[in-house]
């Protein structure tokens, strides 16, 4: 099932321009996102070939099967409600059966958690983005030896620094674990290289220090401590950071790097927008995807606000949403039985000619 097949076989029920162009937040170079609703051929719907959604390769165009669309609407999914509330000038096609699914049928107090919960997720993402931008991890990966320290009296010194000062080679060292002292090792040195010591670690990507066989009569040169937990935490941070670098949207990164505020400005703009929408739904019982505070939202996207300002703004909106939720006249949840009956009626109508 492809987008082309849906259109060719007359299975399209709704197609709209979505995203920044529907919200009134677009610029000349903004992408055009398309969202839609379709229904499956009768055989696929009744058989084993149910397909909940289809999209193009770039995900700029996404269509939802009618049942999946309504399932998400009942949950007050923000994206699905915004599709149903699309301004008239952004509707590309609308089948008459869609008249049976007015927005008022789905708006409920669930939006407090669906919109607010999604916004909270975005704030969490923004915090993670901020953390990564403010704490870059060097491309050159640290090794086990960077987390090893030699112990002398009541002081410690980084192993690599100690080796350099004493003109010693890591590969000529031998380690023996100290019983009942986790992470502690006796360090021996063989300047001749004839005793078969295995060195401190087996390579740059090693996860542990190497242990060597050392005659009991030998006296250790010094004692070494390996901060195993610190190294493990570093490896996790390193992997997460460079995976994020690999997958990040380069255009958005450059935009965020340009404004220099250390957060994903586009993410935060949509977070504030969603919270404002949730407040309006609970207070007024309506959803207006096209925003009347375009300048404020675009200023957020441009990085005009400090990160903490936006977190404070989000917190205040969440508090206001809680108050609106208590006083809202909306139902607790949509009437799922009524909606299901409407869905059955729509399907019967659509499949009557098959």
Per-residue pLDDT at 129:
56
Residues 324-331, mean pLDDT to the nearest whole number: 96
User: Is the model more confident about 168 or about 130?
Assistant: 168
Per-residue pLDDT at 248:
66
Dist CA 39 CA 53 (whole Å): 10
> Per-residue confidence at 88, pLDDT binned at 50, 70, 90?
very high
Mean pLDDT (the chain, rounded): 90
Out of 189-198, 244-253, 260-269, which region has the weakest mean confidence (pLDDT)?
A: 244-253
Q: Put residue 197 in one of left, alpha, beta given phi > 0 → left and psi -120 to 50 → alpha.
A: beta
Indicate if the pLDDT at residue 224 is higher than 60: yes
> Per-residue confidence at 254, pLDDT binned at 50, 70, 90?
very low
Q: Put residue 113 in one of left, alpha, beta given phi > 0 → left and psi -120 to 50 → alpha.
A: alpha
Please give the domain boundaries of the chain with CATH numbers for all domains. Answer: 1-106+334-354 (3.30.460), 108-136+249-331 (no CATH), 144-234 (no CATH)
Give the C-alpha distances (Å, rounded to integers) separating 283 from 117, 278, 295, 309: 18, 9, 23, 24
Q: In what helix (H) or strand (E) does residue 184 lie, and over which residues does it extend?
A: strand 184-189
Indicate if the pLDDT at residue 343 is higher than 90: yes
Dist CA 143 CA 140 (whole Å): 9
User: CA torsion angle for 179, 181, 182, 185 (degrees, to 10)?
Assistant: -70
Indicate if the pLDDT at residue 250 is higher than 70: no
Residues 238-244, mean pLDDT to the nearest whole number: 86
Give the C-alpha distances (Å, rounded to integers) separating 39 from 31, 116, 131: 26, 30, 43
Per-residue pLDDT at 307:
83
Per-residue pLDDT at 134:
60
């Amino acid at each position: 099932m492809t987008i082309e097949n849906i259109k060719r076989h007359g299975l399209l029920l709704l197609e709209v321009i979505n995203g920044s162009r529907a919200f009134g937040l677009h610029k000349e170079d903004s992408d055009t996102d398309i969202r839609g609703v379709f229904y499956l051929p009768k055989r696929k719907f009744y058989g084993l070939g149910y397909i909940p959604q289809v999209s193009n390769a770039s995900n700029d165009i996404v269509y939802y099967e009618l049942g999946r669309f309504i399932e998400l609407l009942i949950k007050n999914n923000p994206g699905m409600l915004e599709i149903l509330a699309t301004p008239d000038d952004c509707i590309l096609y609308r089948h008459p059966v869609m008249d049976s699914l007015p927005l008022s049928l789905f708006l409920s107090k669930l939006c407090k958690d669906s919109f607010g919960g999604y916004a909270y997720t975005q704030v969490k993402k923004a915090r993670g983005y901020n953390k990564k931008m403010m704490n870059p991890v060097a491309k050159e990966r640290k090794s086990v030896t960077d987390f090893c320290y030699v112990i002398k009296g009541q002081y410690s010194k980084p192993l690599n620094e100690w080796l350099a000062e004493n003109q010693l080679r890591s590969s000529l060292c031998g380690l023996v674990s100290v019983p009942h002292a986790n992470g502690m090792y006796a360090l021996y040195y063989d300047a001749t290289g004839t005793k078969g010591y295995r060195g401190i670690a087996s390579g740059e990507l090693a996860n542990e220090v190497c242990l060597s066989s050392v005659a009991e009569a030998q006296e250790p040169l010094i004692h070494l401590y390996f901060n195993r937990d610190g190294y493990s935490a570093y490896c996790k941070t390193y992997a997460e950071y460079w995976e994020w670098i690999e997958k990040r949207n380069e255009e958005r990164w450059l935009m965020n790097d340009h404004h220099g505020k250390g957060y994903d400005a586009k993410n935060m703009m949509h977070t504030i927008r969603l919270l404002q929408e949730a407040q309006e739904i609970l207070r007024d019982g309506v959803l207006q995807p096209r925003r009347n505070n375009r300048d404020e939202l675009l200023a957020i996207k441009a990085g005009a606000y400090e990160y903490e300002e936006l977190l404070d703004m989000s917190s205040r909106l969440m508090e206001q949403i809680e108050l609106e939720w208590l006083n809202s006249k909306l139902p607790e949840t949509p009437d799922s039985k009524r909606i299901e009956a409407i869905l059955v009626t729509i399907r019967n109508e659509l499949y009557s000619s098959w």
